[in-house]
Structure 1
Amino acid sequence: MITVRKANERGRGHYGWLNTHYSFSFAKYYDPRYMGVSALRVINDDIIDAGAGFDTHGHRDMEIITYVTSGTIAHKDSVGNVTTLPAGEFQLMSAGRGIRHSEYNASDTEGLTLLQIWIEPNQFGGEPGYQQKAFGMREGLHEVITPDGRDGTLKIKQDARLLHLLLQANQTAEMNLGPQRVAYVQLIKGRLKLNGVALEPGDGGAVQQVDQLVFASDGEAVEAIVFDLPPHS
């Protein structure tokens, strides 16, 4: 079964410097039908004005993933990381027993767009951690985050994987799901057929009770992120 979360039906947040779409309940947006999928709790599609951003604030016991789709983030945190995150790179911050950080648009003239993702961990407390990596823009479906950090992927404190999907026009890719696994697909650009179900940019697709996923670009290049998640508790 595939349930589509249409881009134009997501929650909205307008904060002057920040314009965002919420796939799941977050901040002042609440809808009991959309509280997350498995351990995936947050997908916020953020547009941040030049020179603006999130002031220093804290998190604990959450795996926080950021993927920049245009522009560059200026990142600073309480464990000593001061860095920039350009478009196309993935960031994974494990909050552990507590971390404070700020995230700003590094440009004073250009906008910044990103996906902010929260995944609930299966390990609590412990040292906070920070990882960041560029995996390149390779065609096909490639792991970027895994539970064991295999093959140079970022390591997450959850039985979950994040994969990056890039297809040219009329290309396909396939992915097998394990028994009782749950998947979620967030389309960034292009038109995608997910097991024949049409997705438009910004749409999400929650997948349950499906053994295999077939991704087919529909006449144009596609970019998406794909979550392989543990069974619902």
Structure 2
Amino acid sequence: MQKIIHRENDRGHVDFGWLKSAHSFSFGQYFDPEKINFGALRVLNDDQVEGGQGFGRHGHDNMEIVSIPLEGMLSHQDSMGNVRNIETGEVQIMSAGKGVKHSEFNGDQKDLVKFLQIWVIPNEMNLTPGYDQKSYLHLDRHNRFATIVSPDSSDPDTVHIHQDAYFSLADLDEGNTVSYTVHSERNGMYLFVLEGKVKVASETLSRRDAIGIYDSKKMEITADYNAKLLLIEVPMF
């Protein structure tokens, strides 16, 4: 088993007034040669945007872009014709493929929106751009993982990603243990602690800490306090 630890305070932090963001991997003005990616996982930005503010129209290509609101609502528009609001309890994916333009704004004029934006390198270049959005509130996440992103386009509970990647959420009660097994031995697991405190692979992780584990089939997580978890499984190439 191989592991890497990313502590909350070691992330790249930027503050533009309207936007505050913490970068788990090199992004924009933040560069760390030791934090370029974890396998196919390229970006994990922990963003908060002031009311009525946001990202103007801009372009992407050849990237799978997942957005998960944690508080509030995002308003999304893109060159594919999608005009959507993404609320807390929903997950959105935009497959940029051969090229797409979009904008993303706080859908509320007063309250903050807090969300994760996550980029995964696709398994094929220059695909036709695509969009998907679903609620995961009906899924049972109590002391178990519920998958919200997967490569299975026929799964009604997940948004489809063009990569052998899986995103799963869990709400873990204090003292409980949950395990996760990879779908493929070539994949690694990146656990991001949204809230609470857990023990993983002899490490104690607190809010917004992360651990990446690879060359291992399974990860076991025990909650020291009630915890909310995001686990991202990706190929390690």
TM-score normalized by structure 1? 0.95
Q: Distance in 2 between matches of 1:180 and 1:126?
A: 23
Render the CA deviation track for 1:36-66: whole Å, top value 9, x for unaligned: 1000000001011111000011111100000
Residue in 1 that maps onto 2:122? 121
SS at match of 1:8: helix
Aligned to 2:43: 42
Aligned to 2:64: 63
Match of 1:159 among 164, 177, 191: 164
Q: Do structure 1's residue 191 and structure 2's residue 197 form an aligned pair?
A: yes
Structure 1 residues 79 and 180 mapped into 2: Cα distance closer, same or farther (>3 Å)? closer
Q: Which residue of 1 aligns with 2:146?
A: 142
Aligned counterparts of 1:38 and 1:181: Cα–Cα separation in 2: 8
Q: 1:214 aligns with which of 199, 217, 220?
A: 220
Quote the Cα distance in structure 2 between the aligned partners of 1:186 and 1:78: 31
- 1:172 is aligned, of 171, 177, 182, to 177
Deviation of the 1:180 alpha carbon: 3.5
Cα shift at 1:228: 1.2
Instruction: Report whether the alignment pairs 1:223 with 2:228.
Output: yes
Any idea what SS the aligned residue of 1:151 has?
coil
Shift of 1:124: 1.4
2:102 maps to 1:97 = no
Residue 33 of structure 2 corresponds to residue 27 of structure 1: no
CA–CA separation in structure 2 for the residues paired with 1:188 and 1:176: 20
- Deviation of 1:150 (Å): 4.4
Deviations 1:61-84 (A, max 9, x none): 100000010010011111111111
Q: CA RMSD in A?
A: 1.3
Q: For 2:206, which of 200, 214, 223 is the aligned residue?
A: 200
**TM superposition score normalised by structure 2:** 0.93
Query: AA paired with 1:78?
Result: S
How much has 1:181 moved relative to structure 2?
2.1
For structure 1, the residue ranges without an aligned partner over 5 or more in a row are none
Secondary structure, aligned partner of 1:31: coil
Q: 1:96 to 1:180 in 2, by over 3 A?
A: closer
* SS of alignment partner, residue 225 of structure 2: coil
Distance 2:80 2:154 in 1: 24
Contact persistence 2:59–2:102 (CA under 8 A):
yes
Report the more deviating stretch, 183-192 or 194-203: 194-203
Distance 1:150 1:171 in 2: 32
Equivalent-residue separation in structure 2 for 1:80 and 1:231 (angstroms): 34
Contact 2:38 2:236 in 1 (8 A): no
Other-structure match for 1:112 = 113
Q: Hey, what's the Cα distance between the residues in 2 that align with 1:197 and 1:107?
A: 38
Residue identity (%) = 33
Provide the C-alpha distance between the structure 1 equivalents of 2:197 and 2:40, rounded to a whole number of angstroms: 26
Instruction: Tell me how far apart the structure 2 counterparts of residues 183 and 219 of structure 1 sit (CA, whole Å).
Output: 22
